[in-house]
Chain A
């Protein structure tokens, strides 16, 4: 969580806590007011970690649709961008498709990595052969500075090693804590080894975009749902995490079709809840 979000949570929670502080003012209704104040804090926390759930529920209940540009509509379900051209409706949906996180969370550089790399073009062609409708596979990426990244990893490793030696030299060392720290050190070591082997650290966001057409909004959206289900099945071969994007991130992905934000950190922040 970044500093700005922490500030927002702290300030808004203070408002709700202030209500609890002056709860006696509400006489017989103090219990109800207290419940509402606690619910407010909960709503803020849920919004922080999964805002797309609350936002989508809000637009769905009140039937609110968004017009992001001329001829485009994001309907109340917030998971589709519709375009109307001469009475035909083009529905576009987005799916997250992140591969990189999984490979980079391993404790050791995988021995079968060469095999995976060799199999990747085959897997990709198999996917393309099995899909008979338009789609785009997008990777938003930016390379990181190797030295800064390496220093960061070395620093973290040093800290965990210090914690482990402290735990080991304590009177009653916990084997579970030692194992956990060892695992964290191994993950960091594997990352440092990858950098030493010539890999360049990158920050990336991957997503799939597909478009369906129909003679009505419903027909286009139904066709899109069918296409998305098929994509989810077919892309399982690539061992990716696939989730349909809805809410705020959907609008951002729509915009990313035309322009990108020049700061990768900012892009990652915007996609903190649906990766």
Chain B
């Protein structure tokens, strides 16, 4: 509605400008400049067909940055089973249905593979309103695991240092602790070097409401309907994603955990140092 209104306002101004130019007693150069402005307005008017969402933010642009929103990408529903976004007077809520599929093509016969593909084709037509079916391949967050190894390594190194300083230390025990330090150090290197990856499949469902409660209730209801349908088709137990799982499915930094990046940087630094 606003789009059509703004479109016609700009087009009428452009028309009026060209119309008035004819009757003005001004130089041809000024007329030329005015007609160029009118034609530019004409192009801007057409671009509103696709870029209305940018029109007003573009007018308020500062330092060549068009700010569409300065808020977080979403709000978490109080129950932690949906995410919400407010757009104008409406609230959009999305739920995520997890599809735990533990099948591999290597364990299937040709008929089973064909049947599995057909089941997936049925899954695609599970809803008449748009849904998003996603397969997400990501790097597993091993922060806690790596931190545990680091703690064990630090502890073993401390013990080793203390035993070296102790003149009465048992040489056999010293060898054992040295071995322990080497073991934790090797484990840290090998675990850090290899990435642990995983795949998660899910369906995203969105509902609109006049307020947050309504949108979330509708989204959860639709999510549960889709979960039941998808579960029946694939023969699996489905459930709605909640809490931190929602972050894993929506936030880019969750795809590559900080510990992995840290470890990669450490490895690169070591390689450079070695070279």
B265 proximity list for chain A (CB < 8 A): 215
Contact B134 A9 (CB under 8 A): no
Q: Looking at the complex, which one of A29, A120, A260 makes contact with B32 (CB distance below 8 Å)? A: A29
B108-119 near A? 1/0 per residue, CB < 8 Å: 101101101110
Q: A43-B43, A138-B133, A142-B131 are in contact. Are A64 and B66 (CB under 8 A)?
A: yes
Contact A202 B124 (CB under 8 A): yes
Q: Is A63 an interface residue (CB 8 A)?
A: yes
Q: Is B159 an interface residue (CB 8 A)?
A: no
Contact A259 B94 (CB under 8 A): yes
Within the complex, what minimum Cβ distance (angstroms) separates A239 from chain B? Answer: 14
Contact residues, A27-44 vs B (CB, 8 A): 27-29, 32-33, 36-37, 40, 43-44
Contact B117 A132 (CB under 8 A): no
Residue total for A at the interface (Cβ-Cβ under 8 A)? 89
Contact B125 A143 (CB under 8 A): yes
Within the complex, what minimum Cβ distance (angstroms) separates B241 from chain A? Answer: 13
User: CA–CA, A70 to B72, complex, Å?
Assistant: 5
Residue of A nearest to B22 (CB): A25
Q: How large is the interface on B (under 10, 10 to 19, 20 to 34, 35 or more residues)?
A: 35 or more
A4-36 near B? 1/0 per residue, CB < 8 Å: 110011011001101100100111110011001
Contact residues, B107-146 vs A (CB, 8 A): 108, 110-111, 113-114, 116-118, 121-122, 124-139
Contact A132 B73 (CB under 8 A): no
User: CA–CA, A118 to B114, complex, Å?
Assistant: 4
Within the complex, what minimum Cβ distance (angstroms) separates B152 from chain A? Answer: 26
Contact A128 B69 (CB under 8 A): no
Q: Is A68 an interface residue (CB 8 A)?
A: yes
Q: A142-B131, A248-B50 are in contact. Are A15 and B68 (CB under 8 A)?
A: no
B21 proximity list for chain A (CB < 8 A): 22, 25
Contact residues, B38-56 vs A (CB, 8 A): 38-39, 42-43, 45-51, 53-54
B258 proximity list for chain A (CB < 8 A): 86, 88
Q: Is B271 an interface residue (CB 8 A)?
A: no
**A124, A138, A260, A261 — most chain B CB neighbours (10 Å):** A260
Within the complex, what minimum Cβ distance (angstroms) separates B209 from chain A? Answer: 11
Name 30 interchain pairs, CB-CB below 8 A, sorted by A.
Answer: A8-B7, A8-B45, A8-B46, A8-B49, A11-B11, A18-B18, A18-B19, A22-B18, A44-B42, A63-B64, A64-B65, A64-B66, A67-B65, A69-B68, A70-B69, A70-B70, A72-B73, A88-B253, A121-B113, A125-B104, A139-B132, A141-B130, A199-B121, A202-B125, A251-B53, A251-B68, A260-B94, A260-B205, A261-B130, A261-B206
- Measured CB to CB, the residues of A under 8 A from B are 4-5, 8-9, 11-12, 15-16, 18-19, 22, 25-29, 32-33, 36-37, 40, 43-44, 47-48, 51, 55, 62-70, 72-73, 83, 85-86, 88, 90, 92, 114, 117-122, 124-125, 128, 131-145, 199-202, 204, 211, 213, 215, 248, 251, 256-264, 267
Question: Top 3 nearest A-B pairs by Cβ distance?
Answer: A134-B255, A121-B105, A143-B125
